[in-house]
Structure 1
Amino acid sequence: MAKELVIAGVEIRPGERKDINIPVAKLYTDAEVSIPVQVVRSKKEGPVVFVSAAVHGDELNGIEIISRLIGEHLKLQKGTLIYVPMVNVYGVLNQSRYMPDRRDLNRCFPGSKKGSLAGRLAHTFLKSIVSHCDYGIDLHTGAIHRSNLPQIRANLEDEETKRLAEAFAVPVLLNANIRDGSLREAAVNNGTRVLLYEAGEALRFDELSIQTGVKGVIRVLKALGMIRKRVSKAKTEPFIANRSDWTRADASGFVKEYVQLGAMVEKGDILADINGPLGNNISHVTSNRAGIIIGKQNIPLVQEGEAMYHIAYFGDSAEEVFEHIEIMQESIVPVEPSI
């Protein structure tokens, strides 16, 4: 039998599926704010996994990914699955990346029971959810006016983490450093291995990002032996980038771009022109190395020094990565209305 599990004072018994609201704080209006959670337990002991979204409140793709996962009604063969579609409920309410105190929640972990609002929320999430878990999948998007190609960021030097990152089956894996104050840092300190899925743009739904994310989470659960659901064989192969850099604007002006997300570029390729208001060319933005564009700014206005293109470097594998990105993009199916 599985062990006892109590979240926010609510016991979830083996074999149960239960919705819980974890109290966080109150609004000015005296209305309670809580984190909505669904817990699914098998009767058999096994891994405990959380899937979280909207740590940044304007990153909405992850909310839809979890909604679709819940709709799959996955039957667990063993272990426990904890869905947390909105960690930063305040940010979602305000369509904002940040907390009401203007703090970035993903820089406030492990938080404090008596700290700032952001610190208290971080502490609550860590103690109520992460402390129970062996693994986590944290869903993100690019920031406002920026898009990310579907990618996994994780500590790929850890063999188990690498195995699960490869099971997610996106073409781009980044061996990413842990940032101070992040959920991933706090989780690792708790002994919880975490995959960070980055895909899409803030305040937008993107089918490529959503469908890829749903399939990826299911594949990870299958790799952990938690489900027996038939999963179509991944058509894309993951490739590891140990380095990535942002190409920045060396002038201010209006952007005319020539490359899209997922494009393969060679050293010296012109990525965009920066023009003045009268159409005169001010600068060419060029690639410093050969690689794949895994993130980009979308707004056609730029200030000198702003990050424009995030390029990952794969050495001689860049062309293969590009081919697998095309396969991933072609695998998206139209969404049918529910009846």
Structure 2
Amino acid sequence: MKDILTIGGVELQPGTKTEINIPVAKLYTDAEVSIPVQVIRAKKPGPVVFVSAAVHGDELNGIEIISRVIAENLKLQNGSLILVPMVNVYGVLNQSRYMPDRRDLNRSFPGSKKGSLAGRLAHTFLESVVAHCDYGIDLHTGAIHRSNLPQIRANLDDEQTKALAEAFGVPVLLNANIRDGSLREAAVNHGARVLLYEAGEALRFDELSIQAGVKGVIRVLKALGMVKKRISNAKTEPFIANRSDWTRAGASGFVKEYVALGAMVEKGEVLADINGPLGNNIDQVVSPRAGIIIGKQNIPLVQEGEAMYHIAYFGDSAEEVLEHIEIMQESIVPVEPNM
């Protein structure tokens, strides 16, 4: 860790906590748009870690996760923590996954100074924040009308990345390929190890996903030796899925579903009926293999070919995965109002 860390043109000394706004562009109204950042630095050198959210502007769980991590008032033993609750500020303003130019920011990295608006924002975030980091946790949700079970996606063939994924403490780990143009690809190319946390649904707060995310972030920092905060070890053993597939609708119609998020399904099990407007059955959605539902569509309308159920395959471990998912679901703590 450098003695002085420069983020968005601001020089940050060891042992400081600083809020920064990194300017990215202006609105039509001439109002400045900037990325809000909090940087916490220990007095001792150590890893530099970023935690980012809302790369897709409608994915709000991560904003709340980072807000609660900030509220924990963490005392770093060493290293630096860079918290970025809104990367795609434009998308948050418009409650949209995309940038105003309709580009997906998470397909626009590494970007450039003179490219599209999405490319410029990607370049600014990469150079201002990610390029300084050794590790990263990127927080996501499912798309609109789709929910994801809390899960970590990462390069689990790398032993250190795998150890951090296990430390996060959710039952499902996916050994996921890196997508071209993604933040994760750009960060890895800059030498950082990155976990991608997927949980919940766009434009919604999901308490299970938020609490699991807050605990997961702190557990990763603890595994890196950056904090000593007391936090219970995860009661859920992680299981690795090396394959997952989306099961798609064979017809268009109204959905009557029979399985919930996190359910274990058997090969040939009926997941949903697709009916016509008069109630006549048109098609059935059937599981192609035994596995766990880690993602699903929520809206009860479907078009032919549309992805409906994301199933991860764990082989003989499926029953154990289900048990640990249930333990995670039971661990949620009711949120008390501030008095």
**What TM-score, normalized to structure 2?**
0.99
Tell whether 2:90 aligns with 1:90: yes
> CA–CA distance in 1 between the matches of 2:114 and 2:2?
33
Is the CA contact (8 Å cut-off) linking 1:2 and 1:43 kept in structure 2? no
Tell whether 2:51 aligns with 1:33: no
Structure 1 residue matching 2:161: 3-state secondary structure: helix
- AA partner of residue 302 (structure 1): V
Counterpart position of 1:20: 20
> CA–CA distance in 2 between the matches of 1:122 and 1:251?
39
- AA partner of residue 149 (structure 1): L
Is the CA contact (8 Å cut-off) linking 1:135 and 1:194 kept in structure 2? yes
> CA–CA distance in 2 between the matches of 1:338 and 1:170?
28
- AA partner of residue 283 (structure 1): D
> CA–CA distance in 2 between the matches of 1:215 and 1:23?
30
> CA–CA distance in 1 between the matches of 2:284 and 2:20?
53
> CA–CA distance in 2 between the matches of 1:301 and 1:168?
35
Structure 2 residue matching 1:221: 3-state secondary structure: helix
What is the alpha-carbon root mean square deviation over aligned residues? 0.6
Cα displacement (A) at 1:2: 5.0
Query: What pairs up with 1:1-339 in 2 under 5 angstroms?
Result: 3-339=3-339
> CA–CA distance in 1 between the matches of 2:9 and 2:217?
28
Structure 1 residue matching 2:174: 3-state secondary structure: strand
- AA partner of residue 17 (structure 2): R
Task: String of CA shifts for 1:223-274, please: whole Å, max 9, x gaps.
Answer: 0000011111211000000000000000000000000000000000000000
Task: String of CA shifts for 1:159-184, please: whole Å, max 9, x gaps.
Answer: 00000000001000000000000000
Is the CA contact (8 Å cut-off) linking 1:293 and 1:312 kept in structure 2? yes
Task: String of CA shifts for 1:26-75, please: whole Å, max 9, x gaps.
Answer: 00000000000000000000000000000000000000000000000000
Task: String of CA shifts for 1:74-118, please: whole Å, max 9, x gaps.
Answer: 000000000000000000000000000000000000000000000
> CA–CA distance in 2 between the matches of 1:103 and 1:22?
21
Cα displacement (A) at 1:338: 1.3
Structure 2 residue matching 1:19: 3-state secondary structure: strand
Extract unaligned runs of 5+ from structure 1.
none
> CA–CA distance in 1 between the matches of 2:121 and 2:180?
17
> CA–CA distance in 1 between the matches of 2:74 and 2:168?
17
With 287-296 and 3-12 compared, the bigger mean Cα shift is at 3-12
**What TM-score, normalized to structure 1?**
0.99
> CA–CA distance in 1 between the matches of 2:307 and 2:295?
10
Cα displacement (A) at 1:9: 1.2
Cα displacement (A) at 1:3: 2.0
Is the CA contact (8 Å cut-off) linking 1:42 and 1:76 kept in structure 2? yes
Structure 2 residue matching 1:156: 3-state secondary structure: coil
Is the CA contact (8 Å cut-off) linking 1:256 and 1:275 kept in structure 2? yes
